[in-house]
Amino acid sequence: MVENRPFGTLLSHLVVLFGVLIVCFPVWITFVAATHDQAALLRPPIPLWPGSHFFENMETILFAGVRSSRSAPVAVMLLNSLVMAVGIAVGKIAISIIAAYAIVYFHFPLRMVFFWMIFITLMLPVEVRILPTFEVVSNLNLLNNYGGLIIPLIASATATFLFRQFFLSVPDELTEAARIDGAGPMRFFWDVLLPLSRNSIAALFVIQFIYGWNQYLWPLLITTEESYYTVVMGISRMLNVVDAAAEWNLVMATALLAMLPPVVVVIAMQRQFVRGLVETEK
């Protein structure tokens, strides 16, 4: 601090605390709503303090689902989201790290063509090519299965760039030493490059897990069977019928479960997360 201003420091604390309160307020209300029964929420003003129906609500949504929207049990949706998020994160990392390895460590014709083809995907998010991509996926029989949820989303220019950037910073002496010791390209990759990339992989995993978990438009397009719904899109289906039946306590309990895994990942792996954020935006 430049000057010692106790009053200024106090003011800073107050402003930041106020910000934290605003940011946390919606989640608090969601939590409170998830702990009451349906009747308590329909009598305004709605409660601001938790009730006693939390475990009951959780049991209902996890194993039976929300009746008014005829949804699948939320446990199934959570499993689907988990499969999708882990599949996307692992798939992206796997295919980008080998592609980046080829582009940085080998000299071959068409290298730059491939690089630019991968680069272009940065400018083609799902949102701008909705219908044709849907047609491709349906022609490949990938509707309503995990393959369709995962594979079309695992090509990633950002991940390839990140690894390319990192490989370029690895000293050439390591490669030379490996070659002198007689290591071939795959041996070098497994025994030298992969262990060195550990931090980048962890950072990328956090970012991509959240990306995969929070996918919305994509599962909405390609799943019509409830057994493949992910939890994030499941919520919106509940919202769109909720006004008729108003089981808000169950919808909010589902919302709580939908945000819990990614939030826990971000907080538990905060260092890798911040690193990943900063690096993928370079």
Partner 1 sequence: MQKRVTFDNRLLPYLLVTPQLIITIVFFIWPAGQALFQSLLREDAFGTSSEFVWFENFVRVIEDESYLNSFRVTAIFSISVTVLSLAIALVLAVMADRIVRGGTTYRTLLIWPYAVAPAVAGALWGFLFNPRIGVLAYGIESIGVNWNYFLNGDQAMLLVVFASAWSRIGYNFVFFLAGLQAIPRSLIEAAAIDGAGPARRFWTVIFPLLSPTGFFLMVVNIVFAFFETFGVIHAVTQGGPSKATEILVYKVWSDSFRGLDLGGSAAQSVILMAIVVGLTVVQFRYIERRVHY
Q: Is 282 in the site for partner 1 (CB under 8 A)?
A: yes
Q: What are the tokens at 147?
A: 């393959």
* Among the listed residues 38, 20, 61, the one whose alpha carbon sits nearest the alpha carbon of residue 256: 61
Residue with tokens 């990392």: 93
Q: Is 16 in the site for partner 1 (CB under 8 A)?
A: yes
Site for partner 1 in 25-84 (CB under 8 A): 25-27, 29-30, 33, 41-42, 44-46, 48
* Among the listed residues 173, 195, 192, 196, the one whose alpha carbon sits nearest the alpha carbon of residue 183: 192
Provide the CA 105 distance to its chain's centre, in angstroms.
30
Looking at the Cβ atoms of 167 and 205, the one nearer to partner 1 is 167
Residue with tokens 């446990």: 75
Q: Is 161 in the site for partner 1 (CB under 8 A)?
A: no
Residue 89 contacts residue 212 (beta carbons within 8 Å)? yes
Q: Provide the Cα torsion 29, 31, 33, 38; round to 10°.
A: 180
Residue 163 contacts residue 198 (beta carbons within 8 Å)? no
Q: What is the chain's Cα-based Rg?
A: 24
Residue 258 contacts residue 61 (beta carbons within 8 Å)? no
Taking CB under 8 A as the criterion, the residue among 63, 67, 111, 225 binding partner 1 is 111
> Rounded to whole angstroms, how far apart are CA atoms 180 and 188?
11
Q: Is 138 in the site for partner 1 (CB under 8 A)?
A: no
Q: Is 9 in the site for partner 1 (CB under 8 A)?
A: yes
Taking CB under 8 A as the criterion, the residue among 232, 247, 250, 279 binding partner 1 is 232
Looking at the Cβ atoms of 59 and 268, the one nearer to partner 1 is 268
Q: Is 125 in the site for partner 1 (CB under 8 A)?
A: yes
Q: How many chain residues touch partner 1 (CB under 8 A)? A: 109
Taking CB under 8 A as the criterion, the residue among 6, 49, 55, 184 binding partner 1 is 184
Residue with tokens 């993928």: 280
Residue 43 CB, nearest approach to partner 1 (Å): 9
Q: Is 244 in the site for partner 1 (CB under 8 A)?
A: no
Q: Is 262 in the site for partner 1 (CB under 8 A)?
A: yes
Taking CB under 8 A as the criterion, the residue among 69, 71, 158, 160 binding partner 1 is 160
Site for partner 1 in 194-213 (CB under 8 A): 210, 213
